[in-house]
Amino acid sequence: MKICLAGEGAFGNKHLDALSKIAGIEVVSLVGGVKEATCKLAQERGIAHWTLDLEEGLAQPGVEAAILATPTPLHASQAMQVLRAGKHVLVEIPMSESLTDAEALARLQAETGLVAMAGHVRRFNPSHQWIRQRIRSGAISIQQMDVQTYFFRRSNLNALGQPRSWTDHLLWHHACHTVDLFMYQTGEPVEECYAVQGPVHEELGIAMDMGIVMKSSSGSICTLSLSFNNDGPLGTSFRYICDNGTYQARYDDLYDGNNEQIDVSSVDVSMNGVELIDREFFTAIREGREPNGSIAQCLPAMRVLDRLERQLSS
């Protein structure tokens, strides 16, 4: 399967690492935003064609699908561009920065019938898959998810410490992971939600600290703390407080309540969540089915984010 990858930054590289482990996939075009960086990455990865124009990348002979790891403000418009070109699309999280754009993308996917996924990788991390399997078997139920998402980003840098041309967002990007995962794991909608945020950064124009509380229809709750002010260990950790045990998920790894590691190596074919989400994308295309993490499945999370944003604005 020939594909186009858009994005020469940190997550473009993560997807290229993942794709190198998946048989039968060829990246025939790399689409970037910065000429020098795009050219350099294409040469390093042995990608024959590179361009700064997504339309040109999609038009390369044989391209069936695209993975978008581009700046967040471009996600919705580029995903719709890919669908209108008749190609399948996997767009990194978040699918958009507004509910209006997310709903427009969902409508277009329904019209085209093409595979369209959002990069909700937490659904695929082996740690969270292990928890989901135990929930579905009836072995455990969630009483509370306690989640901490902490970074140190007082300047506009990406995950590789490189300057960004756009500004990240605690609500529409980082909270999006947890809002979707909470509903995915409980299998229930969010009935109540509340958010508070700290002062807006003078230069970046975003809140640097945020707290979110959610409650599902059966009474499970989620407490989420987010910060760009954290000068310490970075990333996201999930504590599942259940009726039968406590579990801590740190990306692809899982630990019990006493910090003893749980072996999740047999949960799936890989221990890399990005590789697993890419595999699901290609498998859904080949099988002609809706993928786990489709735009339609992830749309409810965008509706919750919209509720929270309107609450914060008021």
* Residue for token pair 């489709």: 294
- For residue 310, pLDDT beyond 90: yes
Mean pLDDT of the region 156-167: 66
Q: How far apart are CA 280 and CA 26, in angstroms?
A: 16
Q: How far apart are CA 252 and CA 233, in angstroms?
A: 17
In this structure, the number of other CB atoms found within 10 A of the CB of residue 285 comes to 20
- For residue 160, pLDDT beyond 70: no
| pTM (two decimals) | 0.95
Which H helix or E strand runs over 239?
strand 235-242
Please give the pLDDT value at position 202.
87
- For residue 271, pLDDT beyond 80: yes
- Residue range(s) in the chain whose domain bears CATH number 3.40.50.720: 2-119+274-291
Please give the pLDDT value at position 170.
94
Structure tokens at 133: 């399997």
Instruction: Match domain 125-267 to its CATH number in 3.30.360.10, 3.40.50.300, 3.90.1640.30, 3.30.70.1900.
Output: 3.30.360.10
The per-residue pLDDT for range 130-143, each reduced to its tens digit, is 999 999 999 999 99
Q: How confident is the model at residue 153 (pLDDT cuts 50, 70, 90)?
A: confident
Please give the pLDDT value at position 203.
86
The per-residue pLDDT for range 232-251, each reduced to its tens digit, is 888 999 999 999 999 999 99
Q: How far apart are CA 260 and CA 266, in angstroms?
A: 17
In this structure, the number of other CB atoms found within 10 A of the CB of residue 259 comes to 7
The per-residue pLDDT for range 69-85, each reduced to its tens digit, is 999 999 999 999 999 99
* Residue for token pair 């794709």: 19
First CA to last CA distance, the chain: 48
Instruction: Quickly name the fold that domain 2-119+274-291 has.
Output: Rossmann fold (3.40.50)
Long-range CB contact pairs, 251-259, < 8 A, 24+ = 251/125, 251/127, 252/125, 252/126, 252/127, 253/127, 254/126, 254/127, 254/130, 254/131
